[in-house]
Structure 1
Amino acid sequence: MALDDILLEAEEKMMKTEEVLQREFAGLRTGKASPALVENITAEVYGGSQMRIRELAGITSPEPRMLVIQPWDASTTSAIEKAIQKANIGLNPVVQGKVIRLVFPELSEERRKELVKVAHKMAEDSRIAIRHIRRDALEHIKKESKQGGVSEEDVEHAEKDLQKLHDTYIQKIDQHLVHKEKEIMTV
């Protein structure tokens, strides 16, 4: 494998790590209603199959602190309600006919601080994943240099480029964390 391929693969993995963090942050509750909070919760419907809520219903946010879930099949309403309760996101679904409403209460200062800690943990897990990707790529680069056919200068350049990639993605994660922290703490 060429050094460029190793760097490309490492960058791809780092990008995916960043995307995962963004999805996790989207599911982290703030004071505002966000469909991302419930869309990936799975409900057991149609005799035991697991489906995401976004596959079973339309999710809208008519007000800043309310989500409305409209199942496409009325028979899935109670399964969706149970799944939301089981997900333990701190919201009680209210069923009104064929519609499920989720009202977001104001977050207490204590709960906001807990959510910030959760966000910090998610970000740290992502940083660790990026460090592992860098370590694996460095091992690949060293293997390539031992097998020959690659100059030491090329190896040095590849290592520097890998470090730049690492620093860039760590910085992006930190930026996402700062943004999410600000969003959580805004009343």
Structure 2
Amino acid sequence: MTATIIKETEIHMEKGLQALQRELGQIRAGRANASILNGINVEYYGAEVPINQVASISIPEARVILVTPFDKSALKDIEKALLMSDIGINPANDGSVIRLVIPQLTGERRQELAKEVGKIAETAKVGIRNIRREAMDKLKKQQKNNEITDDEMHDLEKQVQKITDQNVQGIDQIAAKKSEELVEV
């Protein structure tokens, strides 16, 4: 039972790190990144489908995203979806592909984005700490019900804290990498 609590804690924290990476991947750093198109759906034959299911997405240059539809008749729908999205980039349609040119970031905008990265990372840390608290509560409940001894409780608390520390360190590394990416562009 206690092993499953530790395993669940690891899994939940890992999912927290993955969510952080997805969220930070959508922040534009002045460089082309296909993940900014995640979450954009295109109306295709009456159904809403993710853009990557109706087009191939490539990055031919550092600041250009190339969207090539699998079906040329979907080009207008893809362009419409990109215009309606909140990515803030006007698509350039040449009749067969759509180009998204990522604008150069100003120094001020870079600083704002770096602050935003810090806020998102702090929110992720709060999530990790909440997962730790839930695990500790479950362990304390088991201790109270005499399912585990005081010594086992002490060892399990150390394990949960170690996992927490590793994940908080992982958040710091991910955030530092993204902030560095924002500054160096």
Question: Where does the alignment leave 5 or more consecutive residues of structure 1 unmatched?
Answer: none
Query: CA–CA distance in 1 between the matches of 2:53 and 2:146?
Result: 52
Superposed, 1:97-116 pairs within 5 Å as 97-116=95-114
Identify the residue that residue 167 of structure 2 maps to in structure 1.
Answer: 169
Alignment partner, residue 26 of structure 2: 27
Deviation at 1:75, TM superposition (A): 2.2
Within-5 A mapping of 1:6-155: 6-47=5-46, 49-155=47-153
Q: CA deviation at 1:151?
A: 0.8
Superposed displacement of residue 82, structure 1: 2.0
Report the 3-state secondary structure (helix = DSSP H, G, I; strand = E; otherwise coil) of the residue aligned with 1:160: helix
State the one-letter code of the partner of 2:86: N
The structural deviation recorded for 1:45 is 2.2
Which range moves more in the overlay, 109-118 or 65-74?
109-118
What root-mean-square deviation, in Å, do the aligned CA atoms of Structure 1 and Structure 2 show? Answer: 1.2
Matched residues, number: 185
By how many angstroms is 1:66 displaced? 0.4
SS in 2 for 1:81: helix
Give unpaired runs (5+ residues) of structure 2. none
One-letter code aligned to 2:143: S
Distance 1:81 1:94 in 2: 8
Counterpart amino acid of 1:183? E
Post-superposition Cα deviations, 1:24-83, rounded to whole Å, max 9, x if no partner, equal 122211121111111431222211x22111111000111111011001112222222222
Provide, for residues 81-123 of structure 1, a one-character-per-residue CA deviation record: whole Å limited to 9, x for no partner. Answer: 2222222212110111121000112111121112112212221
Stretch of structure 1 that moved more, 140-149 or 11-20: 140-149
Partner SS, residue 27 of structure 2: coil
In 2: Cα distance, 1:17 partner to 1:94 partner: 36
Deviates more, 1:85-94 or 1:156-165: 85-94
Checking the alignment, whether the CA contact within 8 Å between 1:33 and 1:65 is kept in structure 2 is yes
Is the Cα–Cα contact under 8 Å of residues 39 and 59 in structure 1 kept in the other structure? no
CA deviation after TM superposition for structure 1 residue 149, in Å: 2.7
Cα distance in 2 between the residues matched to 1:39 and 1:148: 48
Quick check: 115-124 or 129-138, which moved more?
A: 115-124
Amino acid of the residue matched to residue 87 of structure 1? S
